[in-house]
Amino acid sequence: MRATQPPAPPPSNPQLRPGKTLVLVGLMGAGKSCIGKRLAQHFALSFVDADQEIERAAGCTIADIFERHGEAHFRDGERRVIARLLEQPPHVLSTGGGAFMDARTRGKIRERAISIWLRADLELLLRRTARRANRPLLNNGDRRATLARLMEARYPVYAEADIVIDSNDAPPEVTVERVIEALERFLGPEREERPGKVREPAP
Ligand code: S3P
């Protein structure tokens, strides 16, 4: 008699997968990679970090690209790499803080993906960005002033994201759970397309 194989564990609820790439948007330190990796695990999707893909394509670090070629060159590469990634099958994509500021990138994300802004306040961003010194925009001068300026310029644009979630000091699993609930609301019970934006109330 043939031994019966135990059934393979089901992929984590594939019918509840969003069916589109989930793009994480937000300032440096908002938790895009941390939340993105966990979200990918939940939906059994792959996780891609756009900054790492840019570094791979360029063969050097982002800090080197800024230093050798300037920010405009970096932004060009960033736009091209994200456009390429958005052609790939659904996955979870963490983008660098400036990516969503590009109108063409925003347009492509809107067309092909679901965008999730991890909104964070200045104190949280300051604490989180203190841990790494590899962000060229934060390496000169006053980090508080730079982040405050970036918040002012970028938050009105990030607000165009499909889903807005407050990133706070709660454990990442709690934030991920809130993202999943917001996604369910965004997709609606019939999983119709774009029934409306979902945002948590401002703190
Ligand atoms: C940038 C954010 C960085 C990286 C680059 C520029 C920005 O990514 O893309 O240093 O303009 O905010 P993270 O947001 O992942 O740190």
What's the pLDDT score for residue 158? 98
Distance between CA atoms of 122 and 134, rounded to whole angstroms? 19
For every residue of 51-77, DSSP letters joined together read HHHHHHHHTS-HHHHHHHH-HHHHHHH
Higher pLDDT, 192 or 66: 66
What's the pLDDT score for residue 133? 78
Kindly list the structural domains of the chain, giving each domain's residue range(s) and its CATH number in brackets, ordered by start: 17-199 (3.40.50.300)
Relative to the CA of 32, which ligand 1 atom is closest? 15
**What residues are in contact with ligand 1 under a 6 Å CB criterion?**
28, 32, 51, 62, 96-98, 135-137
pLDDT in tens, 148-187: 999 999 999 999 999 999 999 999 999 999 999 999 999 9
Distance 193 CA to ligand 1 centre (A): 30
Indicate the Cα dihedral angle 146, 150, 69, 139, nearest 10°: 30
In Å, what is the CA distance from 182 to each residue of 37, 129, 140?
17, 26, 37
Indicate the Cα dihedral angle 100, 101, 103, 108, nearest 10°: -10
Cα 101 from chain centre: 13
Q: Is the pLDDT of residue 67 over 80?
A: yes
What's the pLDDT score for residue 201? 65
Mean pLDDT of the chain: 89
Give the angle 174-180-186 at the CA atoms, nearest 5°.
Answer: 140
Inter-residue contact 12 to 1 (CB < 8 Å) = no
Selection from 18, 114, 105 nearest residue 54 by Cα: 105
Residues 6+ positions from 13 with CB-CB distance below 8 Å:
none
Distance 159 CA to ligand 1 centre (A): 18
Give the distance between the most distant pair of CA atoms in the chain: 74
Report which DSSP code applies to 93. E
Selection from 154, 168, 164, 94 nearest residue 124 by Cα: 168
Q: Is the pLDDT of residue 140 over 50?
A: yes
What's the pLDDT score for residue 202? 56
Give the angle 66-91-11 at the CA atoms, nearest 5°.
Answer: 145
Relative to the CA of 136, which ligand 1 atom is closest? 10
